[in-house]
């Protein structure tokens, strides 16, 4: 057993984990744009506490030097007004907000050099005024030219300044606007979509509704919030990057005398140009009021006046804000404060629109359902009123379990006032999430000793009365279920086993409507004593309703194993509450996750019913062993046990662990076999979980196919994000990222042409293998497509193969094409290694290239093409490609678009539709910079190769010893974040492993067949649950190989993230001979066969 000492900086790996999945809190942009000669009040937005970004003005920057054209009241002048200084003083009222200078340019840039000059001048002034950043609006045709990108790129290089780009709905559909936004996307913190101006506003007298949410018969889809953001999302600009801007007030139009005001609609023409009206003026308007349920606006008609107003009520503007927050946009903005009734003239509190946004942001939690079963336990006695439940993400927990019912010798069952208050708090939190909120489970008896349980359950009348009372209480509450938790002490005998079984039956019988989910918590000691009726918990049971009638009903929906209580402070030895496996020094090898799970599965209990537990709490022990000895064997050492020992100085929570490490009062160690950490502080040993151990347990449990995981005492899981000031509930965050729930994949029917829900792409290399890989053993029936590697696009638009041997292998494949029936056979087409080379081909011979691709497909009976052109496109952010990017993008995108159209109009030789896909690797770090994401979304799928130069998979998750190393998880998120649809993303994995070489970092690539020949097919491999590989020692070196369990886990991850499928990057690397003793192609076949899926 090895022990690794973790340095303090490496310890706090919480931050590394959370980089991939940052907390989401909606932003609120608040605007202050005082008219000229108007003095700004320093307390203007004092009571609007939700503003995360405050923007001052819309200052022109049309000068060539970029200097803002301040008004006489923006800065100190003869009027003795300095509104900018007053604005910046508001930082004392909004200490966490970012204060931005709002600027607007209407004059086009002459060229990129001019744009850079303007940007540099603007940066200088923004810094001199001590703004936190700049809010830029380009009001004109700027987005038609790349100089606008240069302008923003120059500003973005100043890291001390935050940059937001504002664009109106009117400009989104302009020429080149979306392409420019794709370039800008990575340069700015947010893209602010101001829906105050729409394409209709190109004609000033055209009647326009204000901020319409949905379309109706008169409002086109592209003029609505929904339509505009959908256009941006389609082009790869995700909602999480967009802040939707709403308007306080509305539009007012004077209509022609010949027009009937009641028949006016969006898009008609008024007598004169429309005017923006502030809400404090709009609320006083007289006339007939009509509410438009599509645009969510109030229409006021009076004589020949027509006005569309953003009414700041829950049923009007509130519906827009709720929709925006519900779609997981970055946030919302209201412009501006001075048009939002700042004095309360309308008879309500001042700033009604801002207050509405503030209330909804405060009361809205992003609604994402938990993707696997994950139980979160709260103890009312440990949770005070300050517990920040709003920091708990909706997808962290599928169930929240609260200790609620106590057994009572007199009243059978009681519940405390603290429990009632906590449930009320949870209900309020759930109301903010609505449809995907976790289920609430009320727990019974977790704090009662065995004697109380025995007294109540031994009497049939009291037991049935208890069951009836429990079901009655549950049916009148918001709870979805009940947990029976006889766990404070273990059960004592067979009578206890019988009585627990009887209580379960009584509850099932009392639940006439079958609405109550039933969970049963179990202890390790009672489990190993076999005091549970395993068959009864596992199956449907016959319940007798009367002498003449009976029904079958389930007993336990879930069985919660208390695998977080495998050691106790009352034992006279050191240990850990939840070791994964037993170390050599542990006194009882059964007290591990692995042993406890094996015990229950040996009793034939369904894995899908079992839930394994860990805890956010710590276990403190006073070790009597010498520190040096305990470092090599930390568990099983003598410990001091005393009921009189004060626990006030003990470490109890994740937060206190972090504080001890930061203060250097403790040092933490890692135990390899048990896969858990502990902290040594003086003579105190503190056993606990960290994000790494939680991650490993989640991956291990997922591979074992258990039904779920439970985290107890989540109130100790750093809910206030003290450890890194970023991630609340870090253990839950780690569990939610690593836990997968494998669903069994149904093998596709390769005899039918069908749209596959899950792609299994098999790459076959056109080469001679040793031993011989005959083409007739290609396992096409296991693949939705076989990708043949590889042809090359060369000058003149011709298609060539490497040598005659490759062509011969291809001819052999073509001969067996009829046997493959409807399975796809796809040609992988390389575009060479040179961008210049590819530009020549596409610039001069694009038509010939497309025709030659189609000819090769016909000749060799290919059903599709996979473009592998990444090497010909520079993947770094080089200036040279930035300068020549537009021309190249036009060539490449046109080539792909024309080829796709040609392929769409033709059938393959097997009668199925032809396909066009593309392949990229982790070297493409900024996909939207080089490719049209909307075009990629129209292809069959996009395969992402996650291998290094040796064709070996990257670590699947981050490596704690090298957090900056690329990982599969990181690049899957990257492609999703640039707008590639999840269902289009296919993750490519490799069957190859490697053997460490003599030099550091040296690798010798090994296929599955090579591995078995080298180490033998009986070698025992250990799992690395972060890289998802197995490893074993051989002849003083280490052999690393991906195992079948690793592939099955990756499939579970792909299913959980709803990706398009999996690609095996070389079937040649699988054991195609069967020498490993598991038959031929064991990895490929494992995709459809697993004992641990459900």
Alpha-carbon span 980 to 937, nearest angstrom: 6
DSSP at 938: T
Distance CA 287, CA 300 (A): 6
User: What's 30-75 look like in SS3?
Assistant: EEECCCCCCCCCCCCCCCCCCCCEEEEEEEECCCCCCCCCCCCCCC
H helix intervals, 816-926:
835-844, 846-859, 879-904
Is residue 521 within 8 Å of 485, Cβ to Cβ? yes
Orientation angle between helical segments 225-234 and 317-326, nearest 10 degrees: 20
In residues, how long is the chain? 1094
Query: 218, 287 in Cβ contact below 8 A?
Result: no
* Nearest CA-CA partner of 729 in 644, 636, 654, 811: 654
b/e map of 991-1002 (b: 16 or more CB within 10 Å)? bbbbbbeeeeee
Distance from the Cα of residue 719 to its chain's centroid: 19
Residue 503 neighbours by CB under 8 Å, 6+ apart: 457, 463, 466, 467, 484
501-504 LR contacts (CB < 8 Å, sep 24+): 501/533, 501/536, 502/457, 502/460, 502/463, 503/457, 503/463, 503/466, 503/467, 504/536, 504/537, 504/555, 504/556
- Active site includes 494? no
Q: Are 397 and 439 in contact (CB under 8 A)?
A: no
Contacts of 136 (CB under 8 A, 6+ apart): 103, 104, 105, 151, 152, 155, 163, 164, 165, 166
Rounded to 10 degrees, what is the CA torsion of 182, 183, 184, 188? 90
| DSSP secondary structure code for residue 142 in this structure | G
CA distance 823 to 863: 9
Peptide bond into 893 cis (omega under 30): no
Task: Kindly state the tokens that stand for 996.
Answer: 């460490």
- Structure-block tokens of residue 80: 């003795």
Instruction: Determine how many CB atoms are found less than 10 A away from the CB of residue 367.
Output: 17
C-alpha distance from residue 941 to each of 760, 783, 904, 1062 (Å): 11, 15, 14, 11
Residues contacting residue 307 through CB under 8 Å, at least 6 positions apart: 250, 251, 252, 253, 277, 282, 285, 299, 300, 301
Strands (E), 155-212: 162-168, 190-194
Yes or no: say if 917 and 943 are a contact pair by the CB < 8 Å rule.
Answer: yes
| 3-state SS record for 60-124 | ECCCCCCCCCCCCCCCCCCCCCCHHHHHHHHHHCCCCCEEEEEEEECCCCCCHHHHHHHHHHHHH
Catalytic residue of the set 183, 870, 988, 1045: 870
What is the torsion angle, in degrees rounded to the nearest 10, for the CA atoms of residue 572, residue 577, residue 580 and residue 584? Answer: -10
Q: What does DSSP say about strands 3-6 and 785-794: parallel, antiparallel, or unpaired?
A: unpaired
| Token digits of residue 938 | 């129209």
The answer to whether 337 touches 351, Cβ cutoff 8 Å, is yes
| d(C-alpha 875, C-alpha 861), whole Å | 33
Closest CA to 689 of 731, 640, 633, 741: 731
Tell me which DSSP letter residue 330 carries: S
Residues with catalytic function: 870
């Amino acid at each position: 057993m090895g022990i690794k000492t973790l340095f303090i900086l490496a310890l706090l790996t919480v931050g590394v984990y959370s980089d991939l999945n940052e907390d989401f809190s909606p932003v609120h942009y608040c605007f202050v744009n005082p008219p000229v000669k108007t003095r700004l009040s320093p307390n203007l937005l004092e009571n609007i506490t939700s503003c995360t970004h405050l923007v001052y003005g819309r200052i022109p920057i049309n000068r060539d030097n970029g200097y803002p054209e301040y008004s006489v009241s923006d800065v100190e002048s003869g009027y003795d007004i300095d509104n900018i200084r007053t604005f910046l003083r508001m930082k004392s009222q909004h200490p966490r907000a970012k204060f931005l200078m709002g600027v607007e340019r209407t004059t086009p840039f002459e060229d990129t050099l001019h744009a850079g000059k303007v940007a540099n001048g603007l940066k200088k002034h923004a810094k001199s005024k001590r703004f936190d950043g700049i809010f830029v609006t380009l009001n004109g045709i700027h987005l038609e030219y790349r100089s606008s990108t240069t302008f923003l790129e120059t500003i973005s290089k100043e890291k001390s300044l935050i940059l937001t780009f504002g664009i109106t709905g009117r400009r989104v559909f302009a020429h080149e606007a979306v392409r420019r936004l794709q370039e800008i996307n990575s340069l700015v913190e947010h893209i602010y979509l101001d829906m105050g101006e729409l394409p209709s506003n190109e004609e000033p007298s055209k009647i326009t509704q204000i901020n319409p949410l949905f379309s109706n018969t008169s409002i086109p889809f592209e003029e609505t919030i929904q339509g505009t953001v959908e256009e941006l999302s389609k082009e790869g600009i995700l909602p999480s990057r967009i802040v939707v801007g709403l308007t306080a007030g509305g539009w007012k139009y004077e209509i022609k005398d010949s027009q009937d005001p009641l028949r006016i609609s969006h898009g008609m023409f008024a007598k004169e140009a429309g005017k923006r009206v502030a809400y404090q003026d709009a609320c006083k308007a007289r006339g007939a009021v009509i509410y438009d349920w599509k645009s969510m606006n109030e229409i006021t008609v009076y004589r020949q006046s027509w006005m569309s107003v953003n009414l700041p009520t829950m049923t009007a503007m509130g519906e827009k804000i709720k929709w925006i927050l519900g779609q997981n946009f970055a946030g919302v903005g209201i412009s501006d404060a001075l048009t939002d009734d700042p004095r309360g003239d309308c008879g309500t509190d001042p700033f009604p629109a801002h207050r509405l946004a503030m209330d909804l942001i405060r009361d809205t939690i992003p609604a994402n359902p938990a993707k696997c079963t994950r139980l979160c336990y709260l103890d009312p006695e440990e949770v005070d009123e300050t517990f920040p439940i709003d920091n708990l993400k909706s997808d962290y927990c599928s169930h929240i379990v609260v200790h609620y019912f106590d057994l009572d010798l007199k009243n059978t069952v009681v519940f405390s006032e603290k429990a009632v208050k906590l449930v009320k708090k949870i209900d309020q939190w759930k109301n903010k999430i609505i449809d995907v909120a976790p289920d609430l489970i009320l727990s019974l008896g977790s704090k009662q000793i065995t004697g109380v349980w025995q007294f109540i359950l031994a009497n049939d009348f009291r037991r049935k009365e208890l069951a009836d009372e429990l079901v009655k209480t549950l049916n009148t509450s918001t709870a979805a279920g009940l947990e029976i938790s006889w766990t404070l002490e273990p059960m004592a005998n067979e009578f206890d086993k019988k009585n627990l079984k009887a209580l379960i039956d009584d509850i099932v019988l009392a639940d006439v409507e079958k609405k109550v989910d039933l969970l049963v918590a179990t202890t390790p000691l009672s489990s190993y004593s076999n005091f549970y009726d395993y068959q009864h918990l596992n199956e449907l049971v016959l319940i007798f309703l009367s002498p003449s009638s009976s029904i079958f009903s389930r007993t336990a929906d879930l069985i919660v194993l208390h695998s977080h209580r495998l050691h106790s402070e009352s034992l006279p030895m050191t240990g850990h509450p939840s070791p994964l496996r037993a170390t050599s020094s542990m006194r009882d090898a059964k007290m591990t996750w692995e042993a406890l799970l094996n015990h229950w599965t040996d009793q034939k209990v369904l894995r899908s019913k079992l839930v394994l537990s860990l805890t956010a709490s710590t276990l403190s022990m006073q070790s009597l062993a010498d520190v040096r000895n305990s470092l090599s064997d930390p568990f099983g050492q003598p410990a001091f046990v005393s009921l009189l020992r004060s626990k006030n100085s003990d470490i109890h929570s994740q937060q206190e662990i972090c504080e001890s490490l930061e203060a250097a009062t403790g040092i933490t160690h890692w135990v390899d076999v048990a896969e858990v950490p502990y902290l040594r502080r003086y003579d105190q040993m503190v056993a606990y979980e960290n994000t790494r151990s939680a991650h490993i347990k989640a991956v291990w449990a997922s591979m074992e196919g258990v039904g779920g995981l439970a985290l107890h005492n989540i109130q100790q899981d750093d809910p206030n994000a003290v450890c890194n000031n970023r991630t609340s509930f870090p253990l839950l965050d780690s569990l939610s990222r690593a836990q997968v729930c494998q669903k069994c994949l149904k093998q596709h029917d390769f005899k039918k042409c069908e749209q596959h829900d899950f792609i299994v792409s098999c790459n076959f290399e056109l080469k001679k293998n040793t031993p011989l890989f005959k083409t007739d053993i290609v396992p096409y029936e296991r693949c939705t497509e076989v990708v043949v590697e590889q042809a090359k696009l060369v000058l003149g638009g011709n298609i060539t193969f490497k040598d005659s041997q490759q062509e011969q292998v291809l001819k052999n494949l073509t001969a067996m094409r009829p046997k493959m029936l409807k399975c796809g056979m796809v040609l992988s087409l390389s575009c060479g290694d040179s961008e210049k080379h590819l530009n020549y081909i596409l610039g001069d011979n694009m038509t010939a290239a497309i025709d030659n691709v189609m000819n090769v497909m016909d000749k060799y009976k290919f059903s599709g093409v996979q473009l592998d052109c990444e090497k010909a496109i520079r993947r770094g952010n080089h200036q040279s490609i930035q300068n020549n990017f537009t021309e190249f993008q036009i060539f490449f995108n046109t080539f792909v678009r024309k080829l796709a159209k040609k392929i769409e109009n033709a059938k393959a030789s097997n009668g199925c539709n032809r396909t066009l896909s593309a392949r990229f690797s982790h070297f493409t770090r900024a996909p939207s910079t080089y490719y049209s994401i909307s075009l990629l979304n129209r292809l069959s799928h996009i395969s992402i190769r996650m291998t290094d130069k040796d064709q070996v998979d990257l670590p699947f998750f981050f490596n704690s010893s090298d957090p900056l190393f690329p990982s599969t998880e990181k690049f899957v998120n990257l492609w999703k974040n640039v707008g590639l649809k999840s269902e289009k993303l296919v993750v490519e994995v490799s069957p190859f492993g490697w053997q460490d070489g003599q030099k550091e970092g040296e690798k010798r690539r090994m296929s599955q067949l090579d591995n078995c020949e080298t180490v033998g097919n009986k070698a025992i491999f250990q799992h690395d649950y972060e890289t998802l590989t197995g490893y074993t020692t051989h002849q003083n070196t280490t052999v690393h190989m991906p195992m079948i369990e690793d592939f099955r886990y990756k499939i579970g991850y792909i299913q959980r993230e709803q990706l398009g499928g999996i690609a095996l990057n070389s079937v040649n690397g699988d054991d195609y001979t069967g020498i490993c003793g598991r038959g031929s192609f064991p990895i490929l076949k494992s995709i459809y066969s697993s004992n641990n899926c459900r």
